[in-house]
Amino acid sequence: MQALIFDFDGLILDTELPEFLSWQQIYQSMGHELPFEMWCRCIGTSASAFDPIAYLHTLAGSFDQERIIQDRHAILYELLGKQSLLPGVLNYFQDAKKMGLKLAVASSSPLNWVSSHLRQHHIDHFFDAICTREDVAVVKPNPALYQTALRRLQVNAEDAIAFEDSPNGIKAAVEAGIYCVAVPNQLTSRMDTSHANMHIASFASVPLQTLLRQLAVAAYD
pLDDT in tens, 113-154: 999 999 999 999 999 999 999 999 999 999 999 999 999 999
Which residue of the set 7, 124, 159, 192 is catalytic?
7
CATH number of 3-14+85-220: 3.40.50.1000
Is 7 an annotated catalytic residue? yes
| pLDDT of 48 above 70 | no
Is 221 an annotated catalytic residue? no
Distance CA 205, CA 28 (A): 35
pLDDT recorded at residue 131 = 98
Distance CA 22, CA 5 (A): 28
Confidence bin at 44 (pLDDT 50/70/90):
low
Q: What is the pTM (predicted TM-score) of this model?
A: 0.90
Which residue of the set 9, 71, 165, 192 is catalytic?
9
Confidence bin at 36 (pLDDT 50/70/90):
confident
Lowest-confidence pick of 17-31, 90-104, 150-164: 17-31
